[in-house]
Structure 1
Amino acid sequence: MGVLKVVLTVLFIIICIALVVLVLMQEGKSAGLGAISGAAETYWGKNKGRSMEGLLVKLTKGLAFLFMLLAVILNLNIYK
């Protein structure tokens, strides 16, 4: 069981690094606030879920879920 814990720990570290990189790649929520007068209704504002930013948000949510799941699994102490 020691090998399984090492593999899960390495996977956990890789997910941590990937999560940090993904969060840093995303735009801030305050980006574009200078155009409050309706610029959010542009093509990119309506289709943000299909853009690269939308993909980054989905990947971040997925990796955050895996991060929490692995954190719980690694703390169960069944690897004695």
Structure 2
Amino acid sequence: MQGLHIVLTVVYILVCIGLIATVLLQSGKSAGLSGTIAGGAETFFGKKKGIDDKLAKITEIFAVAFLALSILMMIVLK
């Protein structure tokens, strides 16, 4: 059981670091009221930003992994 605890903790820490890094690497989505108007137009017209879209997808994956590992650690490591 001690080995499982160590493995889950190491994976959890790596997921946390990955989540923090991907969130910090993303560019800002808006700059006040003008950013809100421009952001709505970009969404409406389907403008893609390349790396930002990939980072957003990776962030979603890390967030789901973080949630799943949190629940798993709560259940397994009481």
Q: Which has the higher contact order (CA 8 A, sep 6+)?
A: 1
Helix, strand or coil: the match of 1:19? Answer: helix
Identical-pair percentage: 39
Q: Distance in 2 between matches of 1:63 and 1:56?
A: 10
TM-score by length of 2: 0.76
- Cα pair 1:12 1:67 within 8 Å, conserved: yes
Match of 1:29 in 2: 29
Provide structure 2 residue ranges, at least 5 long, that are not aligned to the other structure: none
Which residue is 1:68 aligned to?
A: 67
- The 1-side partners of 2:10 and 2:18 are apart by 12
Give the number of equivalent residue pairs: 73
Residues 12-47 of structure 1, C-alpha deviations (whole Å, 9 max, x = no match): 0011011111101101111572984xx738xxx622
Q: How far off is 1:2 after superposition?
A: 1.4
TM-score (norm 1): 0.74
What one-letter code is carried by the residue in structure 1 that aligns with 2:63? A
Find the counterpart in structure 1 of residue 48 from structure 2. 47
1:4–1:55: structure 2 CA closer, same or farther, 3 Å change rule?
Answer: same
Q: For 2:68 and 2:36, how far apart are their aligned partners in 1?
A: 39
2:13 is the counterpart of 1:20: no
Which structure shows the higher helix fraction? Answer: 2
CA pair 79-35 structure 1, distance change in 2 beyond 3 A:
closer
Preserved contact between residue 2 and residue 79 of structure 1 (Cα < 8 Å): no
